[in-house]
Structures are given as structure tokens and as C-alpha cells.
């Protein structure tokens, strides 16, 4: 460990001392990180890092507005990790960077809050678990539902037998996504370090569709919507089942339907995972869909940076019902439904409502999740983290198992490890070919 890393690792946070924190990745989600951390008494934002100069400048203006102070700026995250004044980092880079950024940070003595999914592939998740254990760094993954009070109460009730033994947990990701269209490759715009953006991914010419947000829909950098919105609901499904380890089999099927565009990942996907005596089912639908169970349909717009319908077709006075995201749990004595709006459980042949929880208005679960992370940074107790890496990497791995099955076109039979029985093609997709020097 270098001198800078050692100095950072030896810092002991007092109960009332603020954690010096740098944010790595300042796009849509990173901007949300900045907005929260800059208003938390437990943290002081001392670093802003992004490959895009415009994003850094915009974030500096936000930080100055919120705190009256500016932070150091970095283009290369390695400079952040080498800075002894930084105690912890909050990472909101694209999926293909999640593992390597976290590993570099932990090896440099930094604690890490990393965005979901925990990892881009299963191999990377295993390396994150290993490095977190070796370095004794705090590593929290941004599955903020695990810090949401009403969801914590609801899951505790399910695990306590509220609807009997759960035989099926189902995750829904019905999030309307419009076509991204086609765009040609171009020269890299000024102020963007495209090589650093690609990192572990293959070197390609700059393309606007592979940059802001839409990188989710290309295999080089993203995992489709199952690894975007969907990993939240997969994690909740596992949570309700008591966070089981590996399934015995996984099968996913679907496709990119309706659109002729440059997207590579499916916009419609159904996945089944077999566990002894029970199953987990997951569905992605990016096209028009109806309701299911009591999961409500929402009016929230699509995520920042996603391609939006033309204004002429979507007047603000008639915003589309473009979200239906949540979970259903089926047990031997009843069933339950959960979304960000609340939770309902029904029991018996009469379908009697036996429990209802509503989301607390004005409560920000992401802020609570970050406060949980900062508290663990001070206490040095990884067991206090609500979504530490040993849990989160398995939730992410369910996404990867589904995508592997979809890409090879068949059901996967698993052994612990995981290993696929008699399937060399699937085994290759546990990891990737890395572009030096960005090697996990």
C-alpha cells in the first residue's frame, strides 16, 4: 500500500466528524448523489470526477450553490483514489466500470458506495467480494430499497410467515422505453475522455447512443433493463425469499421487439430461476403493457438521458403512464404486492387484507441508504451495511444469469461456484476480455 493509501486507510472517523467524500461519475445518477451528499451533515464533498468536462463544471456550480464551497476536480478516477484527503468515494459510473472502480478504490484505502448493479458480470462480483474482505473496506451497493422503512417492515413480515411459505417471488420491470433510433459514429466531442469512458470495454469510435444513459442498451457497457431498473426488483425478490444463494437452474427468453434501432439488449425478457421448493420469476417489458396484481402504474418520466417521445406526441398535460415497477410474493397462505407506493398482503380463500404499509411522503430512501453507509464508515462494521457486497453481488448475478441464458438461447443448469453443467459457451460469459490497462 502506498503512502497516500496508507494515510487514508489510517484515518479514524470521530462520531461527529464529517466523511470527506468524492463523487466519481457525474451524469444523471451522479448528479443525484451530489444533491444528497452535499446536504447531509455527515459528509463533505471534496472531490468531483468525470470524463466529461461539462459534467464537472455543472457539478461544481451545484456544489457551490448547496454548500458555498467548491471541490477538487478530476478527470481520471485514479487521481481521486490517490488523494489522501479523500476518505470515501461514491461511484456512479456506467455498469462496465462498477467493479474495477470499486476495486481500485478499496485497494487505495477508500470506502465505497457503488451504484447498482454491483458488477457488470459474475466474475467481477466475486473479485469485489474478495477485495472487500482483504482490504476491510466498507462497500455498500446502491439498492436503496433496503433502507426504506416500510419495505424493511414488509419484508420482515413476509420472512416471518405473513403469507405462509413463499413458493414464488416475482419481479416486475414494466418501464416504458421508446426507440433509441440510429446514429452514426463521429469524432469524439471536445472535453470528453472517450478512452477513459470505455475503460474495460472494447475500443470503439465515439457514438452518441453509446454515451449518455443509452449505454445501458449495449452489451459492451450495459446489461439491459434487467440490470438497470430490474436489479432493484430482483434484489427485493431475493430479500423476500431470505436472500438465497445460487439457483439450480436459470432460463430467460424474449427479444428486442417492435423497434428497428441500434439497441442490442432485449426490451422484453422473461426469466425463471429454480430454487429447491420455490422459484423466482422476473419480467422486463419496455413496450406498452397493462397492470398486474395491485402494483400501481406511475406517471414518473423515464430516467434522465433516456430517449423521450416527441413533445408533440406527449403533451405535459397528458403524461404517459410509463412505469409499473414492483414485486409480487405468493405463499402457501396468501399473497402480497410491493411497489414504491406501498405494500399490501392478502390471506386465505377470502383474500382478506392482513397488512398494509404506505410509503412515507417526503422520505428519501437513497439519503437513508447513504447515511447507513456513512455510519458504517465511522463504525467500521460491515455487518451494519444494509446492502453490503456479499448480498448485492448475488442479486446482480441473477441479472447476469438471465442475460447469459438469453444470449446462448437455452436453459442453464448450475452447480455452486457458479458453474454451468456441460456448457462451455455459457461459462465464457461469466467474465469478459478486458482492454489493458483496465483489467479486473
283 φ/ψ angles, rounded to the nearest 5 degrees = -130, 135
* Whether residues 224 and 284 fall in one domain: yes
How many angstroms separate the CA atoms of 163 and 311, rounded? 45
Cell 446514429 sits on residue:
183
- Name residue, grid cell 478499496: 106
Sign of dihedral through CA atoms 232, 237, 370, 140?
A: negative
> In terms of Cα–Cα distance, which of 11, 82, 36 is closest to 372?
36
Q: Are 342 and 375 part of one and the same domain?
A: no
Measured CA to CA, the distance from residue 139 to residue 88 in angstroms comes to 10
Residue indicated by cell numbers 417492435: 258
Residues 373 and 410 in one domain: no
Same domain, yes or no: 232 and 331? yes
Please indicate, yes or no, if residue 433 is contained in any of the structural domains.
Answer: no
In this structure, what CATH number is given to the domain that contains residue 210? 3.30.360.10
In a domain, 439, yes or no: no
What confidence score (pLDDT) does residue 3 get?
42
Tell whether 53 is covered by a domain. yes
The answer on 101 and 26 residing in a single domain is: yes
The pTM score is: 0.91
Q: Name 358's bridge partners.
A: 342
Range of the domain at 118: 3-145+368-388
Instruction: Identify the pLDDT of residue 290.
Output: 79
Rounded Cα distance, 63 and 48, in Å:
10
- Residue 43, in any domain of the structure: yes
381 and 345, same structural domain?
A: no
CB 206 within 8 A of CB 188: yes
Using the Cα atoms of residue 241, residue 114, residue 380 and residue 368 in order, give the sign of their dihedral. Answer: negative
Q: How far apart are CA 108 and CA 139, in angstroms?
A: 13
Residues 141 and 156 in one domain: no
* 233/273 same-domain check: yes
Same domain? For 51 and 189 the reply is no
Residue 434 lies in a domain: no
Tell me if 132 sits within 8 A of 389, measured CB to CB. Answer: yes
Q: What share of the chain is helix, strand, coil (3-state, %, to 5)?
A: 35, 25, 40
Per the structure, the count of domains in the chain is: 2
Residue 435 lies in a domain: no
Q: Is residue 437 part of a domain?
A: no
Q: Judge if 350 and 340 occupy the same domain.
A: yes
CB atoms within 10 A of CB 145: 23
> 415-437: buried (b, 16+ CB within 10 Å) or exposed (e) per residue?
eeebebeebeebeebbebebeee
The Cα 194–Cα 52 span in angstroms is 9
Start-to-end CA span in the chain (Å):
18
Quick one: cell of 397? 448475478
Question: Contact, 84 vs 8, CB < 8 A?
Answer: yes
Query: Are both 80 and 228 inside the same structural domain?
Result: no
* pLDDT tens per residue across all 440 residues of the chain: 444 444 444 454 555 689 999 999 999 999 999 999 999 999 999 999 999 999 999 999 999 999 999 999 999 999 999 999 999 999 999 999 999 999 999 999 999 999 999 999 999 999 999 999 999 999 999 999 999 999 999 999 999 999 999 999 999 999 999 999 999 999 999 999 999 999 999 999 999 999 999 999 999 999 999 999 999 999 999 999 999 999 999 999 999 999 999 999 999 999 999 999 999 999 999 998 877 777 766 644 444 344 433 333 333 333 345 678 999 999 999 999 999 999 999 999 999 999 999 999 989 999 999 999 999 999 999 999 999 999 999 999 999 999 999 999 999 999 988 999 999 999 999 999 999 999 99
Residue 418: asked if its preceding bond is cis (omega within 30°), the reply is: yes
Residue 168 falls inside a structural domain: yes
Are 150 and 338 within 8 A, CB to CB?
Answer: no
pLDDT at position 292 is: 78
CATH number at residue 14: 3.40.50.720
Residue 298: closest CA among 367, 352, 229, 355: 229
- The closest of 357, 391, 385 to 371, measured between CA atoms, is 385
Q: Are residues 252 and 281 in the same domain?
A: yes
Amino acid at each position: 500500500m502506498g503512502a497516500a493509501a496508507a494515510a487514508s486507510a489510517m484515518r479514524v472517523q470521530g462520531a461527529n466528524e464529517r466523511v470527506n467524500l468524492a463523487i466519481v461519475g457525474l451524469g444523471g445518477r451522479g448528479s443525484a448523489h451530489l444533491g444528497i451528499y452535499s446536504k447531509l451533515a455527515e459528509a463533505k464533498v471534496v472531490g468531483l470526477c468525470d470524463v466529461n468536462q461539462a459534467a464537472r463544471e455543472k457539478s461544481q456550480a451545484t456544489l457551490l450553490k448547496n454548500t458555498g464551497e467548491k471541490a477538487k476536480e478530476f478527470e481520471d478516477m485514479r487521481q481521486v483514489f490517490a488523494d489522501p484527503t479523500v476518505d470515501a468515494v461514491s461511484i456512479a459510473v456506467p455498469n462496465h466500470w462498477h467493479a474495477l472502480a470499486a476495486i481500485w478504490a478499496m485497494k487505495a484505502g477508500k470506502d465505497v458506495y457503488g451504484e447498482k448493479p454491483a458488477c457488470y458480470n459474475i466474475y467481477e462480483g466475486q473479485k469485489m467480494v474478495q477485495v472487500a474482505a482483504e482490504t476491510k473496506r466498507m462497500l455498500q451497493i446502491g439498492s436503496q430499497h433496503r433502507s426504506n422503512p416500510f419495505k424493511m417492515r414488509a419484508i420482515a413480515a413476509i420472512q416471518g410467515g405473513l403469507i405462509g411459505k413463499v413458493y414464488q417471488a416475482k419481479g416486475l420491470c414494466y418501464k416504458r422505453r421508446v426507440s433509441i433510433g440510429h446514429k452514426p459514429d463521429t469524432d469524439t466531442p471536445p472535453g470528453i475522455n472517450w478512452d477513459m469512458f470505455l475503460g474495460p470495454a472494447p475500443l470503439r469510435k465515439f457514438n452518441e447512443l453509446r454515451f449518455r444513459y443509452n449505454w445501458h442498451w449495449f452489451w459492451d457497457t450495459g446489461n439491459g433493463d434487467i440490470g438497470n431498473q430490474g436489479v432493484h426488483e430482483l434484489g427485493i425478490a431475493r430479500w423476500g425469499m431470505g436472500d438465497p444463494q445460487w439457483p439450480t437452474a436459470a432460463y430467460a427468453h424474449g427479444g428486442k421487439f417492435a423497434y428497428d434501432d441500434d439497441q442490442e439488449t432485449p426490451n422484453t425478457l422473461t426469466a425463471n430461476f429454480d430454487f429447491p421448493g420455490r422459484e423466482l420469476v422476473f419480467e422486463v417489458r419496455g413496450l406498452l403493457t397493462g397492470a398486474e396484481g395491485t402494483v400501481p402504474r406511475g406517471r414518473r418520466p423515464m430516467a434522465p438521458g433516456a430517449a423521450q417521445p416527441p413533445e408533440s406526441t406527449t403533451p405535459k398535460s397528458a403524461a404517459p403512464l410509463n412505469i409499473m415497477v414492483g414485486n409480487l410474493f405468493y405463499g402457501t397462505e396468501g399473497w402480497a404486492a410491493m411497489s414504491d407506493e406501498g405494500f399490501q398482503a392478502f390471506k386465505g380463500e377470502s383474500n382478506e387484507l392482513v397488512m398494509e404499509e404506505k410509503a412515507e411522503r417526503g422520505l428519501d430512501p437513497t439519503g437513508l441508504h447513504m447515511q447507513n453507509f456513512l455510519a458504517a464508515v465511522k463504525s467500521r462494521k460491515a455487518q451494519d451495511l444494509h446492502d453490503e457486497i456479499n448480498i448485492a453481488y448475488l442479486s446482480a448475478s441473477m441479472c447476469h444469469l438471465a442475460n447469459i441464458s438469453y444470449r446462448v438461447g437455452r436453459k442453464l443448469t448450475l452447480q455452486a461456484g457458479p458453474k454451468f453443467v456441460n456448457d462451455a459457451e455459457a461459462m465464457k460469459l461469466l467474465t469478459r476480455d478486458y482492454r489493458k490497462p483496465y483489467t479486473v
